[in-house]
Structure 1
Amino acid sequence: MSALSLRGVGRRVALPGGGHLDILTGVDLDVASGEHVAVVGRSGSGKSTLLNIVGLLDRPTSGQYLLDGRPTAELSARRTARLRGATFGFVFQQFNLLPGRTATENVAAPLLYGSPGEFLARRATARAVLERVGLGERLDALPEKLSGGEQQRVALARSLVRRPRVLLADEPTGALDVDTGAAVMDVLEELVREDGTTLVTITHDLSVAARADRQFRLDHGVLSELRPGSVADLTAHRETV
């Protein structure tokens, strides 16, 4: 059974002057537990909307979304929020770190809303995850004292601190240079592989997409799977021209 399953999912919004805009149209997607899939597409193609639906931040206006085989359409807002917090971690292009808070405090923030046990152990848990991403020497550093790559690692640690079953990464290397981005992806993939975490990456960077088990293209709201190796072949071609 797939961890995530979308069938005919669409997202339509009303336009101020009348009419509507279809952001997603008939999206079918199955992602197995522990799999890494990447979705590529140009700006405005609907990538972030798709990620928001998968992460229960938005609802489709048509179709069906199954999470662990269970339909999500009838969930109450409260149940949806609980399920989102228990299931998903999010990594964004912008690091969104809290200014004036140390790396440890930033990573511990999601545990403030966890179980009593998570709350009491939040600092120790945060430090352990920071050590896993290679920041054991930067536990008390403020965001403004960290490099871009270090800030993204803090953001990554924060997304993993509650040990999510599914990690959703929206342009995770978009604010980084090529070498730093590759290093961050190395850390990300190592951690999700160790934990058996399902990873869905949204990116316009073909070199990032090529690292996934499967790749999809989203074009004008329509999702299609790319043939095996096609993204890697195109990336290699670009690097030689």
Structure 2
Amino acid sequence: MALLELTDVTRSVRLPDDRMLHVLRGVTLTVDAGEHVSVVGRSGTGKSTLLNILGLLDAPTTGSYVLDGIPIGRLSARARSRRRGEDFGFVFQQFNLLPGRTALENVAAPLMYARGRAFWRRMRLAEEMLGRVGLGDRVDTMPDKLSGGEQQRVAIARALVRRPRVILADEPTGALDVETGAEVMGLLDDIAAQTDAALIAITHDLSVAARAQRRYRLADGVLTPLVEAPVGHRTEWVGDVPTAVAP
């Protein structure tokens, strides 16, 4: 059984002039536990809308979304909120760290809503996760004293401290230089592999997308497989289309 499955999902919104804007058009996607999938597309193609639906932040207009065998449409708002908190970890381009809190306090924040041992052990769990992302010596550091790469690592630790089953990464390297971005993606790959979590990366960066086991292109709300470049070629954006380019 797939961990998550979208079937013919659409998302439409009504504009102020009463016209309908069709953001997603019949998206079908299946992702298994432990799988790394990437979705590439330019700005305005519906990538963030797709991520919001996957992460239970939004609902499809039509179509179905099944998570771990459970149709999401049958869940109450409270149940969806609980599943979102327990099953999903979000990593964004903007780190969104709490400015007046240490790295440790930032990572422990999601566990304030945990139950049982996870709540009472939240500081210990946060410290362990910071150690896993290479920041065990920065637990008491404020965000403004951390580099961009370190801030992103704190954000990753915060997203993963509850051991989510699905990691949703929205342009996770967009605010980083190339070398640091590669390190961050390597870290996400490693932790996802260790915990058997599905990793779904939404990006416009073709080098980030290339790390995935399966790659898709989202254009005009339509999701299609991204064809791999032939050996010796590289993939680059040509206009709005990822294209194989000879060296």
TM score, norm. by length of structure 2: 0.93
Q: Which moved more, 1:89-98 or 1:177-186?
A: 177-186
Matched, 1:13 2:44: no
Paired position in structure 2 for 1:169: 169
Paired position in structure 2 for 1:84: 84
More helix, by proportion: 1
Q: 1: CA distance between counterparts of 2:244 and 2:30?
A: 29
Q: 2: CA distance between counterparts of 1:31 and 1:147?
A: 33
Counterparts of 1:215-226 in structure 2, within 5 Å, are: 215-226=215-226
Shift of 1:234: 2.8
Counterparts of 1:187-226 in structure 2, within 5 Å, are: 187-226=187-226
Q: Does the 8 A contact of 1:96 with 1:155 survive in 2?
A: yes
Q: Does the 8 A contact of 2:229 with 2:244 survive in 1?
A: no
Shift of 1:228: 4.1
Q: 1: CA distance between counterparts of 2:233 and 2:58?
A: 34
The percentage of counterpart residues that share the same residue type is: 60
Q: 2: CA distance between counterparts of 1:148 and 1:61?
A: 37
Paired position in structure 2 for 1:96: 96
Shift of 1:75: 1.1
Q: 2: CA distance between counterparts of 1:158 and 1:231?
A: 38
Equivalent pairs, count = 241
Q: Which structure 1 residue ranges, 5 or more long, are not aligned?
A: none
Paired position in structure 1 for 2:58: 58
Shift of 1:198: 0.4
Shift of 1:238: 8.7
Q: Does the 8 A contact of 1:210 with 1:232 survive in 2?
A: no
- Alpha-carbon deviations, 1:33-57, whole Å to 9, x = none? 1100000000000000000000000
Matched, 1:180 2:180: yes
Paired position in structure 2 for 1:134: 134
SS in 2 for 1:5: strand
Matched, 1:27 2:27: yes
Q: Does the 8 A contact of 1:206 with 1:231 survive in 2?
A: no
Q: Does the 8 A contact of 1:214 with 1:228 survive in 2?
A: no
- Alpha-carbon deviations, 1:150-188, whole Å to 9, x = none? 000000000000000000000000000111101111111
In structure 2, what residue type is equivalent to 1:227? V
Matched, 1:69 2:78: no
Q: 2: CA distance between counterparts of 1:230 and 1:120?
A: 52
Q: 2: CA distance between counterparts of 1:19 and 1:151?
A: 41
Distance 1:63 1:153, change over 3 A: same
In structure 2, what residue type is equivalent to 1:80? R
TM score, norm. by length of structure 1: 0.96
